[in-house]
Structure 1
Amino acid sequence: MQTSLSAMSMSPSTGQGLAADARSLDALKLAANGNDPKAVREAAKQFESLFMRELIKSMREATMKSGLLDSDGEKLGTDLLDQQFAVQLSGLPGGLTDAITRQLTQQMSGTAKAPTIALGAEAARIKPAANQRSFVEQHDDAAERVSRETGIPASFMIGQAGHETGWGRSEIRHRDGTPSHNLFGIKAGGSWTGPTVAVTTTEYIGGEPRKVTARFRAYDSYEESFRDYARLIGNSPRYEKARASVSSVSAYASELHRAGYATDPAYAAKLSRAIHTTLKIQRT
């Protein structure tokens, strides 16, 4: 028996290509990341075709074989035919493509439900002040946008920004009083080429508080500050354990402290309380 391959001819377009074409699938994923609705659906269709191909392959393997189609040529023809069946069966109304499209759209639009972060026991005793509520409301939108891009919870970033700035009352400012927009006390090291501001700050040296003058980064907006913080935490190997602890307030705060984010011996406890305060505000 000869398997006809005439039906296997493919259009060069990605949507008509074989589901097993890794380059086509990578191109679709890249286009889908650009939030193109057509590309999102086409990527979902390709993912369904991969699933269908594996399903058909499993069904063939579970079927008794007569030995008539065991030559290499026949196996190749059967495999190509299965791939084409998978492409043709995918994308039908009510199929997996619809479900995958909805999921991808939700994830890229930021509407997918984020995992719930449990409030610690100390949160029950926290009574947020008016200035804390105002600070959270002021920065919530920017933090949420950065959170969707990086995976760092918005509540963690806002809480840390609140702690670092005294909930906006001790924000780092330029000499003329204008804000530096630096919400996280990130210093201007040798690799920083942007604007800076010099201020007197408290550092703990040998466990003792000392007043020192240091240069800090300055930004054009608060959202830039959130993004720079997220890059620092996301790209630095020293914060790897903190990145892996975003499901726990206390663990995240502790890992940041262990990694040397701040010299204050009580930093983890203070940061944990600030994040719990933010969470309580966001949930009430």
Structure 2
Amino acid sequence: MNTQASSLAFDSQATQSLRARAARDPAAATKEAAKQFESLFMNEVMKRMRAATLESGLMENRLSQMGTEMLDQQFATSLTGLPGGLSAAIERQLAKGMSPGMPTTAAGPQLEDGGLTKAAAPLPELAKKNVPAHVAQFIQRHGDAARAVQQESGLPADFMLAQAAHETGWGRAKMKTRDGQDANNLFGIKAGPGWTGKVAEVTTTEFVNGEPRKVVAKFRAYDSPEDSFRDYAKLLTGNRRYAQAVDVARQGDSAQAFAKHLQKAGYATDPEYASKLAKVINTTVRVQRALA
């Protein structure tokens, strides 16, 4: 099993074991499930701490990232199940959910997001489909905004969600304004001379003649993620240099074609941007099918 799937703290064998234990001893199974959820939460906390600053792109590689993930998982495990910890509170909530008369849904637990209740696929089921928790959460959180902007602009929600995921590392790399507020910039759109709104200054990596360089740049800041989706659609549909990418997207052509035209138009300086974005689009489509 890969590191992303293992980070969920659930695999198919563990799920079957937990189900068998629930049949024999519901109380013990509830306690174990609470520990699993706490482990997931602590692992996500470690990931967000790691993502507090944007990656430089100079020293990171696949092996170093794997080592970091394994170390984070060890920390998360060591912090799980402590007396008076989060698992105790989760256990109480799970016990309440098992009480007679407790309303349930066929889709599983509910996630509160911006006042809206959204059905979420059960965590073990997502794990069996190799869907990392942070990926599912990102798509669930921003899916409605992407679909709303699709109705306005004609740009596919899948493409927009995927590009937002690629630019932010599935929401883990967040820009901050000077006062520490979330910039809600999901697409890495810079604040040019014509931008009169809020800005966030971020140290990022730009490719100059194919070589990565660290630079400090100003990026646009928004009041909400929805505003970021809307401004992204406005940028693409209102600029002639992105006309081919927009046409490809609206016609429902392949992710590879859309990403290729977007890079050709100069959206990003990374020479591998098109191939990376196409892969994330395909992942986004797969995850949404798993969540359906």
What's the TM-score once normalised by structure 1's chain length? Answer: 0.55
Shift of 1:127: 4.2
Matched residue type, 1:137: Q
Shift of 1:277: 1.1
Q: Which residue of 2 aligns with 1:256?
A: 262
Q: Which residue of 2 aligns with 1:223?
A: 226
Q: Which residue of 2 aligns with 1:195?
A: 198
**Alpha-carbon displacement from aligned partner over 1:8-47 (angstroms, at most 9, x marks no partner):** xxxxxxxxxxxxxxxxxxxxxxxxxxxxxxxxxxxxxxxx
Equivalent residue runs for 1:90-129 within 5 Å: 127-129=130-132
Find out whether 1:172 has 2:175 as its counterpart: yes
Aligned counterparts of 1:180 and 1:281: Cα–Cα separation in 2: 26
Shift of 1:141: 0.4
Gaps of 5+ in 2: 1-128
**Alpha-carbon displacement from aligned partner over 1:221-274 (angstroms, at most 9, x marks no partner):** 100000000000101000011011112211001100000000001000110111
Q: Which residue of 2 aligns with 1:136?
A: 139
- Give the number of aligned pairs: 159
Aligned counterparts of 2:181 and 2:197: Cα–Cα separation in 1: 17
Matched residue type, 1:254: K
Q: Which residue of 1 aligns with 2:273?
A: 267
Q: Which residue of 2 aligns with 1:120?
A: none
Which residue of 146, 159, 184 corresponds with 1:181?
184
Contact 1:161 1:167 in 2 (8 A): yes
Matched residue type, 2:283: T
Contact 1:204 1:210 in 2 (8 A): yes
Contact 1:128 1:277 in 2 (8 A): no
What's the TM-score once normalised by structure 2's chain length? Answer: 0.53
SS at match of 2:262: helix
**Alpha-carbon displacement from aligned partner over 1:112-154 (angstroms, at most 9, x marks no partner):** xxxxxxxxxxxxxx94321111100000001100001100001
Q: Which residue of 1 aligns with 2:217?
A: 214
Shift of 1:175: 3.8
Q: Which residue of 2 aligns with 1:279?
A: 285
The share of aligned pairs that are identical, in percent, is 53
RMSD over aligned CA atoms reads 1.2
Matched residue type, 1:243: V
Aligned counterparts of 2:144 and 2:244: Cα–Cα separation in 1: 26
Equivalent residue runs for 1:74-89 within 5 Å: none
Gaps of 5+ in 1: 1-125
